[in-house]
A = this chain, B = another copy of it.
Amino acid sequence: MNDMTIEPGTALTAPFIRQMVVQLRAMDSYGTYDNWSDEKVLDPMILTKERRREIPVIGDPDEVVVARIKAYYNAIAVRVEQESGLMAVPMINLSHEGFGRALVMVGKLVVIDKSLRDVHRFGFDTVEKLDTEAEKLVARALTTIEKYRAAAED
């Protein structure tokens, strides 16, 4: 596959993007990614209009997509931890049909709670979009922690 959407040499320096690459590599238990560049590891997270058109509207998520979603929420949890100094725990529930729920918990507090649907089409238009949408969730999580700090520290 040589049709990468991320230009080789793109600076992948944003904290979330770096963490996203770390989490994707962590899911790669067979070492397939060992010789891959960060761009290549991250590339399947990007769904351009052309790529999206190739994915059926209705479909079941395969293992690879599910691993990608787990990596995404793991990376968000790590970012929440880095910014708050409190342990953040992700939890994903997915049906075989690709519906479900993603949580991130800090102490007794649910700081992220997202409904998941059509996860076989999970992806982002660009690397920037991936970063800004994730950081929006992180920022909202930090606001929730500030608001209910005692529950987050319990």
Chain A interface residues toward B at CB < 8 A: 91-93, 101, 103, 105, 108-111, 113, 144, 147-148, 150-151, 154
Contacts and interface: CB of A to CB of B under 8 A. Distances in A.
16 contacts: A91-B93, A91-B101, A91-B103, A92-B93, A93-B93, A103-B103, A105-B113, A108-B109, A108-B110, A108-B111, A108-B151, A109-B151, A147-B150, A147-B151, A148-B148, A148-B150
Given A93-B93, A103-B103, 4 more contacts: A91-B101, A105-B113, A110-B110, A151-B151
Nearest to A92: B93
A86 to B, nearest CB: 14
Question: Sorted from nearest, which 6 A-B pairs have the closest CB atoms?
Answer: A148-B151, A108-B110, A151-B151, A105-B110, A91-B93, A108-B109
Contacts of A108: 109-111, 113, 144, 148, 151
Nearest to A148: B151
Contacts of A144: 108
Contacts of A111: 108
A101 B92 CA distance: 11
